[in-house]
Structure 1
Amino acid sequence: MKTVVARDGIIQTMDYPKPILKPNFVLIETMYSAISPGTEMSMQRRTGMEPIQLGYSAAGIVREIGPDVTHIQVGQKVACYGAPFVKHAGWLAVPKHLVAEVPEHVDIREAAFAGLGAIAIHALRQANIQFGERAVVIGLGILGQIIAQIGHAASYQMMACDLLSERCEKLKDAGIPDVFTSLEELEAAIPEEGVDTVLLCAGGDSSGLIDQALTWLRDRGRIVIVGDIKMQFERELMFAKEAEIIISRAGGPGRYDHNYEISGFDYPPGYVRWTEGRNVGEYVRLLADRRVSVGPVISSVLPVERAYEAYQLLEKMPDKTIGVLLDYGVSKGEKKW
């Protein structure tokens, strides 16, 4: 099966064996997988001669289910999340807790962003925003776009900023008016009392951004780090406001837990209400209820064989490229066994 890898800093498509179904797993024929630029391009830059498989967010059709899988049926369309199970590959064997059914009226291409959706939802949960509070999103790539839309759907007062005006316009088109193309414009619009939360979705050279975000916070506000930025900040700025700086780890509780992901043991909702799997399902619900819309920020859909070109678009044309999907040729649901 076609699988996207990074080797020696280069994106390639290689043939790998089809995965074997395990207990508590679901075997999925991939329709689309979504590229997560920050994570994957960072991995790409660090690779050596040993190929590293990329990707963690996809959607497709269930072809087989393992014993003890009861909430998913063969033939259903599903969204799925979580490396190393989910990747840019034609077939995926995914733990049952990381799979959510996609209703027929939901665009399967939007559902393929379920991994990013779960990460966005968990970041907002980590922010612990209350009704009526104000939050700022810095960085409007695909993850920042989804975070801002979901926060807006939850009736938080959302403000956002990106240096690329095209990305700002996309978010304005989604119904969020307070979007700015410079940190200076954003700062001028922040009310005197400050904001409750800043979610940092930026990457690359973001030195000084945490310190700047600390100046925007109200007393005892919080910063949630979602992007890949250096954790450097002035202690005095944090101390003066008794601010919190929080890391958002992937899609929620359960991530990297062998018992949850592989052995199939769920956390009781009374103790852990929102696991990574339930966050995936919640993203799909938001799509189904038309509370968020990812379609307008899907910039390119390319066949998996052209994966190299897809990553080149993200690197060379960031002003015109936000959401990128890889297509596996089963868009109409036909079997390609």
Structure 2
Amino acid sequence: MKQIIQNYKTGELKVEEVPVPVIRQGMVLVKNAFSLISAGTERASIEIARKSLIEKARSRPEDFKKILNLAKKQGLWNAYKTAMDRLEMPTPLGYSSAGIVAEVGEGVQEIKAGDRVACAGAGYATHSEVILVPENLCAKVPDNVPLEWASCTTLGSIALQGIRQADVRVGEIVAVIGLGLLGQLTVQILKASGCKVIGIDIDEEKIKLAKECGADLVLHPKVSDFGFRISDFTNGFGVDSIIITAATESNEPFLLAPEIARDRARIVLVGVAKIDFPREPYYRKELSVLLSRSYGPGRYDPEYEEKGIDYPIGYVRWTEKRNMEAVLQLMSEKKLNIEPLITHKFKIDDAQKAYDMILGKTQERFLGVLFEYDIEKKYSERNIFVSQKLSVYSALRLSVSSINVGFIGAGNFARSCLLPNLRYEGVNLIGVADIQGALAKSVANKYGFK
């Protein structure tokens, strides 16, 4: 099957042929129909990957500290080798997709083969023809919701979780700063929640789209009567909540927020902005600043995501899966319209064209960008032969006078300690298997497996 892979050392993007995942307990095997490019997240990842080693260290200070600590324990050379090895690990891109269930693992109860599902999770809902996803990161798609729309469910859940963090009430006035795809979804969900919405952006086209999608007031922050129009719309009180969905390296959203907020308003950061603001205006209005963590409770908890242990609904009403289901329900009820938000669809083989656009190389405007897959295609091959002349049978007939070695698992220990020491005459490295097909293929290429 095909999968989009990034080399974090060089920044190179490739469409690789990798083994089809093998079903496991608690997991769901899905044939992707569509996957969504998260423009902000993936652009940032690609830009960091293409930086020099020094620039990478500056942009990832926490990771650099870990390498320094490792150097103190194991020496500079070992720390350098470890860092290079991890940078060379293939990184699948994408975290939001939708498709058809091909197979379910033991213990999966709510999903069966043939179901239409929306999928979430970095490393799971990737830009791949076939994906393997934990049950708690899958949600059934209502019959009247197109899979194109469903592929945006994860991003919709991020928007919804930001709204939940803002703790909005019916009739409240909420400002959304940043009207990219995430901001547009936030605007529509707020309207469905009974709020009045002010959309703010520096892009006139996005301002126009937000108005078409239901925003009550849309503004460019630099218009001369900006403050007056906010004051007039809120009867002089200011907005009840501000949700920042912008992607910027500046702190301008945090400078703008207190100017339009009422006393004790809530400010929620969903996007990416520099968290740097003056104390005085925030103190004077006693503003609350909150961060929204991805798509809801359960995110980054392996007990929930990987082992399938759900949170009791009486204690945690809205988990990430229940947020996904709520977004799909809004789509089904026509309260969340994805159609005007999708601007481009690409085949996976045209991935480089898609990312050239995302990176601004083509100067083409875009918003929602999808990869489209052939769900009728048959996928059965779980072996990739690095040596084109080799087959399973010829591999098994290799010379018995040599030591023939196969690896199950290509983790850090195997790559740093075992494999480098097997590079000598008399050892045939035959095959390597790993739950990450792209990693298995990368290791096979690097160490000369057949």
TM range (shorter): over 0.9
Does residue 211 (structure 1) correspond to residue 255 (structure 2)? The answer is yes
Residues 58-103 of structure 1 show CA distances to partners (whole Å, capped at 9, x for unaligned) of 0000001112212111101110111121111111111111111112
Conservation of the 8 A alpha-carbon contact between 1:166 and 1:319: no
**Aligned residue for 1:189?**
229
Among 309, 328, 336, the residue aligned to 2:373: 328
Output the TM-score relative to the length of structure 2. 0.71
Does residue 122 (structure 1) correspond to residue 169 (structure 2)? The answer is no
Q: List aligned pairs for 1:146-295, cutoff 5 A.
A: 146-184=185-223, 186-191=226-231, 192-295=236-339
**Aligned residue for 1:307?**
351
Task: After TM superposition, give the deviation of residue 318 of structure 1 in Å.
Answer: 7.3
Q: List aligned pairs for 1:52-201, cutoff 5 A.
A: 52-184=91-223, 186-191=226-231, 192-201=236-245
Q: Indicate the SS of the match to 1:285.
A: helix
Larger % of helix: which?
A: 2
Letter in 1 for 2:197: M
Q: Indicate the SS of the match to 2:267.
A: strand
Letter in 2 for 1:81: A
Distance change in 2, residues 1:170/1:318 (3 Å) = farther
Alpha-carbon distance between aligned partners in 1 of 2:363 and 2:222, rounded to the nearest angstrom: 19
Does residue 19 (structure 1) correspond to residue 13 (structure 2)? The answer is no
Letter in 2 for 1:279: N
**Aligned residue for 2:395?**
none
Conservation of the 8 A alpha-carbon contact between 2:357 and 2:364: no
Task: After TM superposition, give the deviation of residue 183 of structure 1 in Å.
Answer: 4.2
**Aligned residue for 2:441?**
none
Distance change in 2, residues 1:73/1:189 (3 Å) = same
Residues 265-287 of structure 1 show CA distances to partners (whole Å, capped at 9, x for unaligned) of 00000000000011111111111
Residues 152-181 of structure 1 show CA distances to partners (whole Å, capped at 9, x for unaligned) of 111111110122212122222223231123
- Of structures 1 and 2, the one with the larger relative CO (CA 8 A, separation 6+) is 1
Task: After TM superposition, give the deviation of residue 305 of structure 1 in Å.
Answer: 1.2
Letter in 2 for 1:325: L
Letter in 1 for 2:18: Y
Alpha-carbon distance between aligned partners in 1 of 2:170 and 2:120, rounded to the nearest angstrom: 29
Output the TM-score relative to the length of structure 1. 0.95
Which one has a bigger Cα radius of gyration? Answer: 2
Letter in 2 for 1:40: E
Which runs of 5 or more structure 1 residues have no equivalent in the other structure?
A: none
Alpha-carbon distance between aligned partners in 1 of 2:252 and 2:159, rounded to the nearest angstrom: 23
Task: After TM superposition, give the deviation of residue 12 of structure 1 in Å.
Answer: 2.6
| Number of equivalent positions | 334
Distance change in 2, residues 1:145/1:186 (3 Å) = farther
Letter in 1 for 2:348: V
Conservation of the 8 A alpha-carbon contact between 2:187 and 2:213: no
Alpha-carbon distance between aligned partners in 2 of 1:228 and 1:286, rounded to the nearest angstrom: 26
**Aligned residue for 2:427?**
none
State the identity as a percent: 37
Letter in 2 for 1:2: K
Letter in 2 for 1:251: Y
Alpha-carbon distance between aligned partners in 2 of 1:218 and 1:318, rounded to the nearest angstrom: 39
Alpha-carbon distance between aligned partners in 2 of 1:228 and 1:9, rounded to the nearest angstrom: 22
Residues 254-313 of structure 1 show CA distances to partners (whole Å, capped at 9, x for unaligned) of 001011011110000000000001111111111111111011110000001111211222
Alpha-carbon distance between aligned partners in 2 of 1:10 and 1:205, rounded to the nearest angstrom: 24
Residues 212-265 of structure 1 show CA distances to partners (whole Å, capped at 9, x for unaligned) of 212211111111111111111111221111111111110000001011011110
Distance change in 2, residues 1:115/1:161 (3 Å) = same
